[in-house]
Amino acid sequence: MGIPFWAIKVQQLWKLVRESHAKPLAGKATKPPKVRSGETAITFIGHSSFLIQTAGRALLIDPVFATRLIVLRRQRRAGLRVRDLPPIDAVLLTHAHMDHLNRPSLRAITREMRRRGLAAPVAIVPQGVEDLVADLGFAGVVSLEWWQTTELESPPHAEPNSARLVPIDPGEPPRRLMEQESLTITATPARHWGARMFKDTHRGFGGYVIESANGPTIYHSGDSAYFGGFAEIGRRLNPEIALLPIGAYFPDGYRAVHTSPEEALQAFRDLKADVMIPMHYGTFRLGREPMDEPLPRLLQAAERTAVGDQVVALGEGESWRVEGSSDRRMAAAE
């Protein structure tokens, strides 16, 4: 008999754990930018974690502030601290894997908002993930299937970061809202898997497109292998800024659920977006490629295909800002 699948996975994980403790943590945290009216700022926290400030709102996507995922240690510090976050309206989680859904980080976020006397944020999750966040102090939990859209808006006379979610009929096409204080969030497909452990394969996974009347349309893919869905997302939702993963692609079998840098760049071209911000590299040892390989490979591929000026690589804590639209002449990393 061969070695059981679970035993192989445990052996691989143990090797990654040992390597993750080999070097001291690098990097340091900064404070998030203050955003003016009509401005959007995308701040890279690390790995696949972002703070999105747009349309007068602050969203977190896949926030992981923890130094360790149980025993796997991060290689670079989170670029922001929970205590420095602006009031958070919603937390978007792409899937249940521990490098994307970190329960201690999520609990810390809701506690910090309540410590300040603010309403806790709402959580938006794929279908089947609700139970993993139900006890973490969120004001509400909304689950979405692929292509379902929900609206995040402030009721009249609400506190600055209170929110209510208004479901939109999944059969309706996503619509652009005219109210600046409103956002639509659409769940998008991916080629990945959603189980937190090994057998809970019912859990959903995917990405999100965030759209407002006066800001750029932002796409966070979550984890995904390259597939035809990127072109479909581009046709249906027209994202202007694409946050795409470029790490954990070796050995080649990992590309069944992750993109290589070159495949991520092709996904960007399929989407027909204006700007690509790479993610899912440099923080956790998840693949066998060298930790410092993904970004140079991406930048070299971008130069070869004449889109080098459209790739914006952010360090932890760095922000990309834009006034009104995603016109690169009006944007700057800081």
Q: What is the pLDDT of residue 330?
A: 41
Q: What is the pLDDT of residue 257?
A: 95
Burial environment of residue 176 by CB neighbours within 10 A (0 to 12, 13 to 18, 19 or more): exposed
Q: What is the pLDDT of residue 324?
A: 72
Q: 36-325 falls under which CATH superfamily?
A: Ribonuclease Z/Hydroxyacylglutathione hydrolase-like (3.60.15.10)
Query: What are residue 25's phi and psi, to 5 degrees?
Result: -60, 140
Q: What is the pLDDT of residue 21?
A: 63
Q: What is the pLDDT of residue 135?
A: 97
pTM of the model: 0.86
Q: What is the pLDDT of residue 180?
A: 42
pLDDT tens digits, one per residue of 96-145: 999 999 999 999 999 999 999 999 999 999 999 999 999 999 999 999 99
Burial environment of residue 238 by CB neighbours within 10 A (0 to 12, 13 to 18, 19 or more): middle
d(CA 189, CA 146) in angstroms, rounded, equals 5
Q: What is the pLDDT of residue 289?
A: 94
Say whether the peptide bond before residue 239 is cis (omega within 30 degrees of 0).
no
The pLDDT profile of the chain, 334 residues, written as one tens digit per residue, is 577 766 666 666 666 666 656 566 778 899 999 998 889 999 999 999 999 999 999 999 999 999 888 878 888 999 999 999 999 999 999 999 999 999 999 999 999 999 999 999 999 999 999 999 999 999 999 999 999 999 986 643 344 444 445 444 445 544 433 344 689 999 999 999 898 987 888 999 999 999 998 899 999 999 999 999 999 999 999 999 999 999 999 999 999 999 999 999 999 999 999 999 999 999 998 998 999 999 999 999 999 999 999 999 999 999 999 987 554 434 445 5
Q: What is the pLDDT of residue 323?
A: 84
d(CA 227, CA 312) in angstroms, rounded, equals 23
Matching residue, tokens 């410092």: 292
Query: What are residue 161's phi and psi, to 5 degrees?
Result: -115, 15
Q: What is the pLDDT of residue 109?
A: 98
pLDDT tens digits, one per residue of 289-304: 999 999 999 999 999 9
Specify whether the CB–CB gap between 5 and 197 falls below 8 A.
no
Q: What is the pLDDT of residue 70?
A: 82
Q: What is the pLDDT of residue 161?
A: 44
